[in-house]
Structure 1
Amino acid sequence: MATRSVKQPPAATASDATRMPADLLDRMTRKLGTASEMRERGALYQASIGPALQEALGRATGLEIDVRSGPVTTGRRRALWGEKITEAAFCPAALRGWSDGLGLFCGAPIITVLVECLLGGADPEAVQITERPLSTIELEMSVVIFEQVTATLRAAIGIDDGRSRNAAGKPKLQIPDAEDDLLEDFHAAAIGFTLEFASFSVPLTIVAPQSALLRVRPAPRLRLKPEEVKAQADWKERLNKRLAGSTVKLEARIELDHLRLERLSQLQPGDIIPFNEDGGMAVTLGSNGKDIYRCALGRKGQRYMVRIEGPAGPDDEWREAFV
């Protein structure tokens, strides 16, 4: 009697993995967590980082900045970046051994206020913010905020090898275009905070890979070492150096004789208006719309010159015009 062979099911092959739904595979390999799992993990990072970040920002700026927990959202990295860049400064960051694809975002208004307060001692409650992009100096100085974020995050996940000190990159006003983005568009989570300073409240967000957040639980009670916090003097020194190294265009304004409005409206090319020579030809030297020095007009050879005679105003607040 002939025996019938029993057909065995084919063995699993590597190609089976390619036919598996991508999200299911990512969940099995811990690259993707459930919504509740990521909310819980995000809350742990907020509880760990928030108080330490508040302390770090206070030490760095000498100003009272409150840090509150914000929303925790999930999605693909580029989608989250696109949501968070609105009216914010963006800073790419990396913590060696944990993640190379961090995105840090801080609301622009608070950066403007902090720089004004540190530069000229302005009253935070009296500062008026106009809707405009951050200036070059404001954008560069925002790195001090991002440095405090990376310092607290590094401490929270226990990186203490000294190789991730310069984790914060160069702040930008835009995220990279998709064709220029070399990073994988991985599953990410946006861990939100709210920075409150004077009457201003802005979002601060850390966008990190879900795989990294799931892999490491943050320290429950985080205390920064003194050397991990940039001192207040460091921020002011960097700001003053940046201002001192700026190249500005000067303008000399010379007072001319008074003219009636009727005569002014009749001026034609070729007409000549004399200087007002009462008390010498006074010149006001300024830049960026601000008066800086009172000067006297003179001449050396074929070139006109100005001689500085004194400040144009009672204080040095004109420096704020160059931020």
Structure 2
Amino acid sequence: MTALSTPLDPSSQAPRRWFDRAAPSLGARMPLFGEAMSLVAAAWTDGFGALTAAPAAFAFSGLAEARVASLPLRRGREPVFAVLDAPGWGTEIALQFDRAFVSAVVEALFGGDDGDEEGAPTGPLTAVERRIAEVIAVQATDALKAGFADVLPSSFVFERVQQKPDLAFLGRPNAAVVVATLTLRALGRTAEIDLVAARAALDGFAERLAVLPADEPENTDPRWSERLEGQVSRAPMTLSALVELDRMTLGALAALKVGQVVTLPRDAAQDVRLVCEGRDLFRCDLGQSGGHYTVRIDEPVPAALAEL
């Protein structure tokens, strides 16, 4: 990571919100990822059907963005994580589900009571449940390989199942992740499972996930493109490091005056955005060095970088 130093300056700038509600949805920014997940659901339905006579089907529910620290709260108090290696993506990914999903799979495989979820077990997974969780993960590797074969081809290797989350492989607690949700319907039950990947790991594939090959314009003069790129890369730009403030009422805002001190949020040092020409580029951490404020680049904002 690199650091940018600026002289201490008491002046402030207008805060910016981290998530722009006017920006396109994640599914709109990465349409091919969603299409691949639909193929994953179809492939998994076929593979699951070979294990059980009960009607069962997977369906792709959608994409979402989250933080690593919030993942253990997505699937109740006892989430289960299956860790997979995706060498073609250069990273590890996770499957996140809960006891209800495991129970739905158990009933689909061995028969059940038509959706009665009363008396679901709690605590650590039993030996049978852990084995079922491993079967789920291994089946997912085959479905993922088939679904992403034409978009982001990779093998997917099952590594481990863990109920106590250790998610360091996805990044720091405030790092962004992409969450793709699949829904399983079997024997009157509906259960969900998430595919979780570090968003930073997908940044290098942003163009491949956003544009169909047939839509890409042909480069008829590579020399002209190189000259244009060289001229554009030398254009002077202004960088700003912004810290987001807490919400303030209109009355309090109107009452602000010169010399008044505005308190920053507790996590302000980790909520700095590096901005260029009104576009968010990086999330940063705030610090000090040699009489200057410094911002250490933590992770990129892929949507903004793709628009530059």
TM-score, normalised relative to structure 1: 0.48
Query: What letter matches 1:184 in structure 2?
Result: G
Percent same amino acid among aligned pairs? 17
Q: 1:47 aligns with which of 38, 54, 72?
A: 38
Aligned equivalents of 1:184 and 1:212: distance in 2? 10
Rg larger for: 1
Q: Across the two proteins, how many residue pairs are aligned to each other?
A: 188
Aligned equivalents of 1:49 and 1:171: distance in 2? 20
Task: Specify the alignment match of 2:171 in structure 1.
Answer: 184
Alpha-carbon deviations, 1:101-128, whole Å to 9, x = none?
Answer: 312012322422433554xx53452765
Alpha-carbon deviations, 1:233-273, whole Å to 9, x = none?
Answer: xxxxxxxxxxxxxxxxxxxxxxxxxxxxxxxxxxxxxxxxx
Task: Specify the alignment match of 1:239 in structure 2.
Answer: none
Q: Give matches, 1:274-313, under 5 Å.
A: none
Is contact 2:54-2:187 (8 Å) kept? no
Aligned-pair CA distance for 1:51:
1.4
Query: What letter matches 2:158 in structure 1?
Result: A
- The structure in which a higher percent of residues are strand is 2
Task: Specify the alignment match of 1:138 in structure 2.
Answer: 129
Aligned equivalents of 1:17 and 1:35: distance in 2? 30
Aligned equivalents of 2:117 and 2:70: distance in 1? 32
Is contact 1:53-1:67 (8 Å) kept? yes
Provide closer, same or farther for how the CA distance between residues 199 and 86 of structure 1 changes in structure 2, counting only shifts above 3 A: farther
Alpha-carbon deviations, 1:146-205, whole Å to 9, x = none?
Answer: 2222222223333777xx45x1222222212x7xx3552232111011111112111110
Aligned equivalents of 1:182 and 1:123: distance in 2? 36
Look up the SS of the partner of 2:159 in the other structure.
coil
Is contact 2:95-2:137 (8 Å) kept? yes
Q: 2:26 aligns with which of 34, 38, 45?
A: 38
Q: Give matches, 1:1-323, under 5 Å.
A: 15-16=3-4, 36=24, 38-40=26-28, 41=30, 42-84=33-75, 86-116=77-107, 118=109, 121-125=110-114, 129-133=118-122, 134-158=125-149, 164=155, 167-176=157-166, 181=168, 183-185=170-172, 186-214=175-203, 215=205, 216-217=208-209
Provide closer, same or farther for how the CA distance between residues 66 and 187 of structure 1 changes in structure 2, counting only shifts above 3 A: same
Aligned equivalents of 1:39 and 1:50: distance in 2? 16
Task: Specify the alignment match of 1:243 in structure 2.
Answer: none
Look up the SS of the partner of 2:83 in the other structure.
strand
TM-score, normalised relative to structure 2: 0.50
Query: What letter matches 1:47 in structure 2?
Result: S
Look up the SS of the partner of 1:190 in the other structure.
strand
Aligned equivalents of 1:194 and 1:172: distance in 2? 21
